[in-house]
Amino acid sequence: MNRLRQFVSMSAAIVAAFMLFIATFSVVVQIIMRYQNNPNLWSIELSQFAVIAMVFIGAAAAARDRQHFRIDYIAGLVGRRTEKWFDVVSRLVGLATLAVLGLYAIRMLESVMNTYSTAAQIPVRYVYYLMIYGIVSWIILLLLEFFIPDADDPKGLETARAELLAGQSDKAGAPQ
């Protein structure tokens, strides 16, 4: 299962990096063309589509290392058992949110199957395909994290809390 987790995460990271390259390239082309007094619209559309895809797919890649922000102040004040319940509830809310988002992305996909962007004539369905790919990747990673602990971090939440407490004690003992 750890190989599946790594494959989903790495493939999402590679696709997100490629989308970043496309967005950067199209913005550079737009800057050069505007400098030459010959602006084009296709590069704007392409960069918008690439950024949308990058956000959804990059979010899935970030889920692998739990790089999404969390508000854990209240969870840190309660006991470990309650903290674990907070973690479970937050994961379930995340899964439910992703499921609803995925459902509506699929519904929107059905309505834009034959729609093309104005200037570049890019099929809009490609953006929705990439959005759905990012959502499905994120759901897979959340489910794997939920049911199977990471081999690198078998205790998961407890290790993160220990690191947080170690960081606070380092700050307390550091000279000012």
Per residue in 2-36, pLDDT (tens digit) is 788 888 888 998 999 999 999 999 999 999 998 89
This prediction's pTM? 0.74
Q: Among residues 63, 55, 62, which one has the least CA distance to residue 23? A: 55
- From residue 85, alpha-carbon distances to 12, 57, 71, 104, 156 in Å are 29, 28, 14, 29, 14
Beta bridge partners of 123: 116
Q: Are 93 and 168 in contact (CB under 8 A)?
A: no
Q: Are 105 and 135 in contact (CB under 8 A)?
A: yes
By the 8 A CB rule, do 89 and 108 touch?
no
Which of 26, 110, 23 shows the shortest CA–CA distance to 58?
23
Residue 1 above 70 pLDDT? no
Residue 152's Cβ-count burial label (10 Å; 0-12, 13-18, 19+) is exposed
Please report, rounded to a whole number, the percentage of residues in the chain having pLDDT higher than 90.
Answer: 41
Tell me if 53 sits within 8 A of 137, measured CB to CB.
no
- Residue ranges of domains in the chain: 2-149
The pLDDT tens digits for 153-175 are: 555 545 554 555 565 544 444 44
